[in-house]
Structures are given as C-alpha cells and as structure tokens.
A and B are shown apart, each in its own frame.
Chain A
Amino acid sequence: MAELNPIGFRPGTGRLHRMDARVKMAALAMVGIAAGAAGAPGLALMSVLVALGIRDVRLDTGGVLHATRLLAVMLGLAAVVRALSVSGEPLLGLGPLALSRQGAMEGLLFAWRILVVVLGGVLLTVSTRPWAVRAAVAWILGPLPLIPARRVATMMGLVVRFIPEILNQAGAVREAQRARGAEACGNPVRRLALFASALMRRTLLRADRLTSAMAARCYNEARIDPPLAATSVDMACLGAIGLVTLAAVLL
C-alpha cells in the first residue's frame, strides 16, 4: 500500500538540492504570499519560476500528478464553486446557478494560485532531506518561548517516517477484517469503529516499541542534529526569488 512517494525526497545534485532548507522555506513563503496577491501575469511569471525549479530537480511530473490527483479534483471543485459565486457577464446558466465570465476567471486564478504553491511545496520536499526539514523547523521554532523546538521537529520527522508504516498497517487490518467477513457487517459505523480501534491499537503498540528502540539507541534531547549552512549563493538565489515574487505582485 505504501510505495515510493513521488513527492518525497529524491537524491539530486541540482541547485535546489544544494540549497539550505531554511532558504527554501523562506522562498516558499514568499511564493505563497505572492501567489495570493498576484494576477494572471504575475502567476505566469511565478509559474516560469516553478517550472525552472521542476527542471532543476528533474521532477517526475507524471508521478506527482498521479499522487496529487485527489488534490486536482478538490481544486477543480473549489474553482467551480468560486466561479459560481462571482456575478458578472453570464457565460452559462445552470438552473438557479449562473457561471459568469468574471467568475470563470476568478475560479481559474484561484486554482492556478493553489497549484503554484503546491508545486512549490513539492519542490521543497523533493529536494530537501527530511532531517534538513526537521533541522530547519527546529531553527525556526527555536527562538519561540514555551515551544520545545527539537522535540516538535523530531515528532515531525517521526510522523513523516511512519506514515507509510501506518498506511501498511491500515491495509493489513483491512485485509484481516475482510478475511473474517467484516464487509458482511451492514452497519458502516460499526465497521469503521472496528477498523479504527484495531488500527489505533496496533499504532499505539508500535509507538511504545518505537520509544524503547529510540531509548536503546541513546536518544536524548541534547542530540546533535547535522548543521545547516546557508551559502552566499543560497542568499543570492533567495534575493532573486524575492525580486521575482515582488515583480509578480506588481504586474
């Protein structure tokens, strides 16, 4: 059930792979903010930026599209809802609902904005080692009071690591219950409750074993994570991305 994740980290030697994770996160934040404010010309400019990134990391676009197909459906639905909620020059009548030209443009722009941000996020995850993402999160959260930054970052890493395992477990539980005729149970709530309780039990048991395994390998919160090191080239790239996103907003 859990396969190689097309939006997970893949080794590479491109510029993005060599860039500091914090710089990439800052760039993604700029892209996200700019995408929210930009019109069609600005989004086109940012799309070029994203396309350059896709070329740099040699992204498996087919795999990404397949992995995000549900998102594509949601985006489509969101775009339609947006389109139907904006009044203007009518294009199409659907009973009480009317699709306007302006609404259609708004819907398309909305979907385009989300797509740019999602692809930017995929570029981050594909080009960044999970430990670097963890370290960057710990660095960002570090100055904040009352937040155990290292612990939060470690938890994040473990979530990423164990999502495929939990998916495997869910598949195994489902198959085991199916083999014992669970599908014959007519009550879907009961079926869901049986599935969820079995999965939770297995997941919590694994979590307990994981704790022992980490303790056995001397895990402690004073552990030294690999250092992050932003270079002058990274900062120059960040500056360039900043200029592009600013231009996108102003266009």
Chain B
Amino acid sequence: MALIEIDNLSHRFPDGTLGLDGIQLRIAAGAFVVIAGANGSGKTTLLRHLNGLLRPTSGAVRVDGVDVVRDPARARRRVGMVFQDVDTQIVGETVADDVAFGPENLGLTGQALQARVAAALEAMNLSAVRELPPHLLSGGQKRRLAIAGILAMEPMIIAFDEPFSNLDFPGTQSVLRRMLALHAAGKTLIVTTHDLEKVVAHAQRLVVLARGRLAGDGPPLDLLEDVERYGVRRPCTVRLGRGLESWLS
C-alpha cells in the first residue's frame, strides 16, 4: 500500500475555477518526489489536499490508509507542511516557542516536549538563536525554523511548498542539505517548485502538473526533455548536455 494515495482528485474553487482535474498519484514511503509546474498549475492546491486544508470536489486522498477528509487531524499529524510564505507560518514569540507550538498542540508537555524542541533546533542548527524573536532571523533561518517546527511534530511526510523562494545561494544550500538529511533519516519528502534547477538532481521522481492535470510522472531524466512545454525550465546543466548536477557540489 502506498503511503499517499490520490484517486481521481479534482478540486473546483468557489469562483468556479478548476484547480485540479482528475489527479491520480501514488507515493511510496521514503520517496523523494518533486512536483513541478508553472504558476497556477495546481501544485499548492494539490499539496493542501494532503493535510486536509482543502477538500476534494471529487475523488479521494488517503494518507497512511485513511481518508484525509474523514480524519484531517490524523492527516496533519502525518503530513507536515512547510509553506512558501514562512513569515505567516511562524507563530511563536521566540524561536524555541515556535518549535514547541506543534508538539504542544499534540499534547506533549514537560521533558518530552523540551527534548523534541531541542532535537528539532539542533537538527536545523538553530540552537544558538532559540531565544530570539523570529522576525530577527534571516530568510534561510526562518525557513529552517519552519522546518524545525514541523520536524518537532515527527511527521512521516514533509511537504515543502516552493522551499527555495527568496533564498540566496547559501540559504538554498542550507535548506537543501537539511532536506536531504531528513530524507536520509527516512522521511518521505514532497517538494513543489517551478525551479527544478535547485532540487531535481536529488529527486527519485518528477511529477509535472499543467493546468491542474497530470502532465508527466516518472524519473526526472525521462521527463526533462519535454518539461518546458509545461512552463518549467530545464536545469541549465541539462540544457548544456551535462546531465543533472546538485547545488551542493
């Protein structure tokens, strides 16, 4: 059984716009999947169905065997989401308080809570700034804080929505390194992006969306020749015939 099962998912917005149209997808545990597409292709809309922030107009989404609509709280414990706009995701008045927010919502207290917070801060190299107010952090630190806040909830799946937006080169490398560490630790990663360059070298699978429909699904190298048809630029190294190269090399 796949960890995430998306069956004929369609979503129509209140204004009548069809955001997703018949998406069929299976994602196995431990996978690293990049979902690419132009702006408005449905990437974020698809992601928000995984934790019940959006409900299907038709079709179904199951996470770990349970329909997300039937039990969104369960889905949210299993699917951690790092939003594109991290400023609105960070709710704590200090870095440590923000990381504690999620576990507190899950009922953790005392030593167990403190241990989770400490571990998440350590994993994201934020221990030194744990007492700072979040608005003083750099863009890369804020992104890492958002990840730490999700990590502290120990989800099985971590979904990143455009994780590299507004990050400089060192910030991008920092976030990418941590994503790879999470994958190596057994997390299932789903990354949406319109900028394949930064991450696709590490993905096992590329899913391409176009106008809410599934336009491609397979190993990245198999799809990259045609990906520009769907408004997604091929990585420069592929254009130059050098195959995929990591931003960490």
Contact with B along A173-196 (1 / 0, CB 8 A): 000000000000000000000000
**Known: A165-B87, A168-B135, A218-B153. Is A131-B109 also a contact (CB below 8 A)?**
no
| B191 contacts the other chain (CB 8 A) | no
Question: Are A217 and B101 within 8 A (Cβ)?
Answer: yes
CA distance A224 to B105 in the complex (A): 7
Is the Cβ of A130 less than 8 Å from the Cβ of B76? no
* Binding-face segment, A3-11, A67-75, A79-87, A231-239: A3-11
| A38-59 contact mask (Cβ, 8 Å, vs B): 1 or 0 | 0000000000000000000000
Distance between Cα atoms of A5 and B131 in the complex (Å): 13
Minimum Cβ distance to chain A for residue B92 (Å): 7
Report which of B87, B105, B133 forms a contact with A217, defined as CB distance below 8 A. Answer: B105
Contact of A218 among B83, B85, B105 (CB under 8 A): B105
Query: Does B97 count as interface, using CB distance less than 8 angstroms?
Result: yes
Name the segment of A18-26, A91-99, A110-118, A208-216 touching the other chain.
A208-216
Q: How many residues of A contact B (CB 8 A)?
A: 35
CB–CB B93/A161 < 8 A = yes
Q: Does A164 contact B (CB under 8 A)?
A: yes
Please name the residue on chain B nearest to A216 by beta carbon: B81
- The answer for the CA separation of A3 and B133 in the assembled complex, in Å, is 10
Q: Contacts A168-B135, A225-B104, A226-B109 hold; do A215 and B94 have CB atoms under 8 A apart?
A: no
Interface centre among A158, A160, A226 (most CB of B within 10 A): A226
> Least Cβ distance of B24 to chain A in Å?
24
B97–A130 contact, CB under 8 A? yes
Minimum Cβ distance to chain A for residue B55 (Å): 13
A217 B149 Cβ-Cβ under 8 A: yes
Which one of A130, A212, A214, A216 lies within 8 Å of B93 (CB-CB)?
A: A130
Could you tell me if A213 and B88 are in contact, using CB atoms closer than 8 angstroms? yes
Q: 10 tightest CB-CB pairs across the interface, nearest first?
A: A130-B93, A209-B88, A213-B89, A218-B105, A164-B135, A217-B102, A11-B131, A223-B105, A216-B81, A210-B88
Chain B interfacial positions (CB closer than 8 Å to A): 48, 51, 53, 73, 76-77, 80-81, 83, 85, 87-94, 97, 100-102, 104-109, 113, 131, 133-136, 149-150, 153
Q: List 27 A-B contacts (CB under 8 A).
A: A5-B133, A129-B97, A131-B93, A157-B93, A161-B90, A161-B92, A164-B135, A165-B87, A165-B135, A168-B135, A206-B85, A206-B87, A209-B85, A209-B88, A209-B89, A212-B48, A212-B83, A213-B89, A213-B91, A215-B76, A216-B51, A217-B101, A217-B105, A218-B76, A218-B153, A225-B104, A226-B113
